[in-house]
Amino acid sequence: MDRVRALARREQEQRDGVEWVAGSLADESALAELAQGAGALIHIAGLTNTPDPADFQAANVAGTANVISAAKQARVKRLVFVSSLAAREPQLSRYGASKAQAEELVKSSGLDWTIVRPPAVYGPRDTEIFDLFRAARLGIVPLPPGGATSIIHVDDLARLLLRLVDPTASLLEDTTSRKIYEPDDGREGGWSHKELAHAIGQSVGRRIIAPHLPRTVLRGAAGIDRLFRGDRAKLTIDRVGYMCHPNWVARFDRQVPEALWSPQIEGEAGLAATAEWYRGAGWL
């Protein structure tokens, strides 16, 4: 079994093969410990939502710069950076802009890099898409204006990231070096918003209503969410910016080569298993 050293801001349970390093992306000594002797770094950590858009710069841009610096000081050559499809349209949100800036840092780092732009990630323990499952249980899933998105199960994404740092992969060097990939669940054309909402409804055993809401209504809802949940609000003005974009489908020309990786968890089955996990954990 490969040994893994992982950065964590909070105390974690012990796991076989995992050495936890306490710290954050702003902690240079923790990052130095993380990188020391490593064969590769996978940079997953980042900020996806915040009431203060300025936080994106500190977490996603400065944090990535710190990871790159730690890799260089420890002479780690391989870096896999988990970005976001939002980086394709940086003008839509501060989040997307921060991920696009972080990508530029990775590209100019001089390291052997691969950038992965996942679409919507779902699976056990996820708290973001969970809100859609909870809404589906109530029979109504409000949607942004019409559009389509790709999705990927967290287990499939994890397999890809491990594959990208596997030194035994015969195609690794020629295929992955200095490439940007947009993986998904293998569904051609992605999911329309309504298709995904009804699939989530089916996973929780409910027929649902899925109305499309205009941008103005979503912005108003973001204000209400902030009023009631404060800094814990899930729907922010920044998030509304990229939610209303019509195309978050993984692009064909950014597919991961099939010889290297392919998704194993089809959407309907993955959503059903995720709903079952939520029920077992008492979330639904």
In contact, 185 and 121? CB cutoff 8 Å:
no
Q: Tell me the pLDDT band of 98, cut-offs 50, 70 and 90.
A: very high
pLDDT of residue 155: 98
Model confidence at 113: pLDDT above 90: yes
pLDDT at 245 over 90: yes
Pairing mode, strands 18-22 and 4-8: parallel
Predicted TM-score (pTM) above 0.85:
yes
Q: What is the pLDDT averaged over residues 22-51?
A: 94
Structure confidence at residue 213 (pLDDT): 93
pLDDT higher than 70, residue 247: yes
**Average per-residue pLDDT for the chain:** 93
The least confident of 18-27, 85-94, 170-179, 258-267 is 170-179
Fold of 1-117: Rossmann fold (3.40.50)
The whole-number pLDDT of residue 174 equals 64
Q: Is the pLDDT of residue 1 over 70?
A: no
| 41-50, 171-180, 215-224, 265-274: range with highest mean pLDDT | 265-274
pLDDT (average), residues 121-147: 95
pLDDT number for residue 162: 93
How confident is residue 170, by pLDDT bands cut at 50, 70 and 90?
A: very low
Q: How confident is the model at residue 222 (pLDDT cuts 50, 70, 90)?
A: confident
Per the structure block, which two tokens stand in for 258?
A: 């099939």
On the CB side of 190, CA atoms within 13 Å amount to 22
Residue 21 has pLDDT above 80, yes or no: yes
Q: Give the architecture-level CATH label for domain 119-153+184-250+265-284.
A: Alpha-Beta Complex (3.90)
Tell whether the model's pLDDT for residue 144 goes beyond 80.
Answer: yes
Residue ranges per structural domain of the chain: 1-117, 119-153+184-250+265-284
pLDDT value for 172: 56
Predicted local confidence at residue 169, as pLDDT: 61
pLDDT tens digits along 57-70 = 999 999 999 999 99
